[in-house]
Structure 1
Amino acid sequence: MLKPDSHAPDGAAWRITVLRNGNGMVATFMDWGATWLSARVPMGDGTVREALLGCATPSDYLQQSAYLGATVGRYANRIANARLELNGEAIALSANQGPHQLHGGPDGFHNRRWQIVCQSDSEVEYRLDSPDGDQGFPGTLLVSLRYRLEEDNTLSIAYQATVDRACPVSLTNHAYFNLDADHGDARQHRLQLNADRYLPVDSEGIPNAALKAVAGTSFDFRAAKTLAEDFLQDADQQAVKGYDHAFLLNQDDARPAATLWSADGRLQLEVFTTAPALQLYSGNYLAGTPAREHDVYAAHQGIALESEFLPDSPNHPEWPQPDCWLQPAETYQSETRYRLTPV
């Protein structure tokens, strides 16, 4: 359980929200970063299993750079050289990973206090107002997200945003899953991805080639396999020390975008999303991150499955996905559902 501690950087208390369903599943959230803190799943044998990595106290979340459970925006993943172009005009963004921008910049949505609009036993809605020029992005953006815990152990995240000037928008949650209650190497989990193509990147995580077929590569998760099976087996993985790549999802509403199984086979996670892509991250740089039940996490102790647009999409209009630029007359809407089922 999350231990109480001092106030947040703005001097106010942290606001923790707990959702419960009739099956006994408990999901916990924090208004700082609209962060998903915990997902505790009854296993049917009297035990409860924690499915998410997390910290021991709220202030510990400020001492880590892994974005544990945080809401990420305005733009998830990387934008090359922290640069956009709109109608021939260059727009400089705030860089926070070398010359590039990662997950919305140094003071992105993960590092803000979100306003709680409403909450009940089964859902909580957060809102954030992002001013014109925030982290370099054009226009005022108003964003809301709703976490809802369903009776079938589905945690849904529904995002909505509007802008008053054209701006790329891609929101995601950066939860790390370890379905063995954070015990052991998460690369022993089995994973299935409903994707025929992935995006190669360079050592800085910036796309450096066209979309590539997964067939015949270590990125083929169309049939379930452990992450360990083909880990670091090719140059695309070696460049970033493992899996840290976006997969363009097949548009098949009936099938999960991803299914993950614990190493012991007793807990299953299904991910459904309206987003066009899913970033698979094998926790390559998790080492040293403050942990909930022990001092720190090790590398590869959790797996992130981030629903989003492909990285650097604002600079690649040729990619086969919807336009990531949100226009003033439009509303950004995206929903991702995580269903946790004891097997």
Structure 2
Amino acid sequence: MFKNNNTIIDTTWGNYRLYTLTNELGTKIEISDLGAAIVNFFVKDGYSQERNIVLGYQDSANYINSETYISGIVGPWGNRIEGGTFSLNNETVQLELNEEDNHLHGAGCNLHKRRWDVIATAAQGITFQTTVSKGDGGYPANIILMVTYRLSNDNELTINVWADPDEKCPLNVTHHFYFNLFGRKNDVTSHVVAIDADQFWRTDQNLIPKEKSSTYQTPMDFLQPKPIGVGLKSQSHDILQASGYDHCFILNGQGLRPVGWVFEPKIGLSLEILTDKPAMQFYTGNHLNEERDSFGKYSGVCFEPQHFPNQVNMDGLLEDVMYDKDRPYSSTTIYKIQVEKTNSSLYLN
């Protein structure tokens, strides 16, 4: 075991390692070299009760066996590509298919199941690195990927992702954290969510975006905060088709800015979400299965900053997601933890 300024602790975790970041407010985040995944995220709520606000497993083997991408890094292309194909240099590239006719989250690249190297540590921060070899998952380049986690003393978790391909290649690396502010109990339907998006992508039956649509006065309208469960109960075609929320929101604004917020009024705990990406996939754990995954449907909610799903096949938008050695991929996301006491002790769990 080693300590770095009393903020990073390295311990064994099965065949892998856990690296613990802490701050002066008592927040503790345990991150593994397996998938560069956040395994535990302990925070204190509005009543000073400690809660573990991400879904995860205590046994590393469960991450290898799971197909739910729990709390790991996904890519090189996070989200879906229709048919797994795109055009590059006037030729069609075929990526591996792993969701019927879709390429999802990098398929066989398995960023969320591979061992990442720790290449740097600093006070309250750690950087992981891995390499995708040309041909893995069908990708047409060797890609060096890095992710840095930093926890500040004002309760901000900053995640910087960087990917450097040696040849032209589409990239859309993101993370797949399932948040549950209750702490791995109850579902998230009472969580109140706001998303700064006037538009979202309406999808086909395979969840491939087909048209932009206004969020106004629809279940996708989170410009005013509302509980997740309100939309889940709707009979909207968009909700029924995806069995919940699994939609890409086109975020307002540019650059690093606040784009979302999730709050659980029963315990006085919230997360503010900032990103520099143009879109965010909002997913409510529709396909979690308690018997298979240890977590039931709607047990967690994901906020995945990214480019548009299937953007490689959208007219005029391909070049925006093509990267090479002279133009590496990068993204910044910040989760800001905030606490606020509620007015009623009836909400205490």
- TM-score of the superposition, structure 1-length normalised? 0.91
Task: Quickly say closer, same or farther: Cα 1:193–1:110, change in 2 above 3 A.
Answer: same
Over 3 Å counting, the alpha-carbon distance change for 1:5 and 1:163 in structure 2 is: closer
Q: Superposition RMSD on alpha carbons, in Å?
A: 1.9
CA contact (8 A) 1:218 1:233 kept: no
C-alpha separation between the residues in 2 aligned to 1:163 and 1:285? 32
Deviation at 1:306, TM superposition (A): 0.5
* Aligned counterparts of 2:235 and 2:324: Cα–Cα separation in 1: 42
CA separation of 1:29 and 1:5: change in aligned 2, threshold 3 A: closer
* Alpha carbons of structure 1 residues 46 and 267: separation in structure 2 relative to 1, 3 Å: closer
Question: 1:9: which partner in 2?
Answer: none
Equivalents in 1 of 2:245, 2:93: separation in Å?
A: 30
Partner of 1:106, secondary structure, is: helix
Q: Rate the CA distance shift 1:149–1:250 in 2: closer, same or farther, 3 A.
A: same
Aligned pairs for 1:86-235 within 5 A: 86-207=88-209, 209-231=210-232, 232-235=234-237
Q: Out of 295, 303, 306, which is 2:304 matched to? A: 306
- Kept in 2: contact 1:4–1:57 (CA 8 A): no
Post-superposition CA distance 1:249-279 (Å, at most 9, x none): 0015685211000141510101100111100
1:1-343 matches, within 5 Å, as 6=14, 13-43=15-45, 45-207=47-209, 209-231=210-232, 232-251=234-253, 256-288=258-290, 296-318=294-316, 323-343=320-340
Contact 1:18 1:121 (C-alpha < 8 Å) held by counterparts: no
Determine the C-alpha separation between the residues in 1 that align with 2:291 and 2:22.
Answer: 28
Secondary structure of 1:199's counterpart equals strand
Amino acid at match of 1:298: G
Q: Which letter does structure 2 place at the counterpart of 1:229? A: V
Q: Distance in 2 between matches of 1:121 and 1:44?
A: 27
Deviates more, 1:84-93 or 1:42-51: 42-51
Residue identity in the other structure for 1:325 = M
Of 154-163 and 225-234, the range deviating more from structure 2? 225-234
1:285/1:183 CA distance change after superposition, 3 Å: same
* Secondary structure, counterpart of 1:270 in structure 2: strand
Q: Distance in 2 between matches of 1:305 and 1:109?
A: 18
Are the counterparts in 1 of residues 188 and 301 from structure 2 also a CA contact under 8 Å?
yes
Distance 1:5 1:36 in 2: 13
Larger strand share, 1 or 2: 2
Contact 1:180 1:263 in 2 (8 A): no
- Mark the CA change 1:58 to 1:81 in structure 2 (over 3 Å): closer, same or farther: same
Q: Tell me how far 1:88 sits from its aligned partner.
A: 1.7
SS in 1 for 2:262: strand
TM-score (norm 2): 0.90
CA separation of 1:117 and 1:286: change in aligned 2, threshold 3 A: same
Kindly indicate whether the alpha-carbon contact (under 8 Å) linking 1:66 and 1:289 is maintained by their aligned counterparts in 2: no
Change (3 A) 1:115 1:186: same
| Deviation digits for residues 229-249 of structure 1 (CA, Å, limit 9, x no counterpart) | 122431111111111000010
Query: Please, which moves more after superposition, 116-125 or 43-52?
Result: 43-52
Q: Whole-Å Cα distance in 1 between the matches of residues 89 and 34 of structure 2?
A: 35
Counterparts of 1:289 and 1:222 in 2: how far apart (Å)? Answer: 35
Is the contact made by 2:106 and 2:137 (CA closer than 8 Å) also made in structure 1?
yes
Runs of 5+ in structure 2 lacking a partner? 1-10, 341-349
The answer to whether the Cα contact below 8 Å between 1:5 and 1:59 also exists between their aligned partners in 2 is no
Length, aligned pairs only? 329
Contact 1:34 1:71 in 2 (8 A): yes
Conserved in 1, the CA contact under 8 Å of 2:257 and 2:275? no
Alpha-carbon separation, structure 2, partners of 1:244 and 1:215: 18
User: Residue 8 of structure 2 aligns with which residue?
Assistant: none
CA distance in 2, matches of 1:90, 1:82: 10
Residues 129, 147 of structure 2: 8 Å contact kept? yes
Deviations 1:300-322, CA, capped at 9 Å, x for gaps: 01100001111001111445x98
> 2:252 corresponds to which letter in structure 1?
N
CA–CA separation in structure 1 for the residues paired with 2:328 and 2:217: 39
Q: Is the 8 A contact 2:12 2:18 kept in 1?
A: no
Which amino acid in structure 1 is aligned with residue 134 of structure 2?
Answer: D
SS at match of 2:327: coil
Residue pair 1:55, 1:290 contacting (<8 A) in 2 also:
no
Once structures 1 and 2 are overlaid, which stretch shifts more, 251-260 or 33-42? 251-260
Which secondary structure does the structure 1 equivalent of 2:109 belong to? coil
Which amino acid is the alignment partner of residue 305 of structure 2?
S
Structure 1 pair 316–254 and aligned structure 2 pair: CA distance change class (3 A): closer
Residue matched to 1:10: none
Q: Cα offset for 1:47? A: 2.0
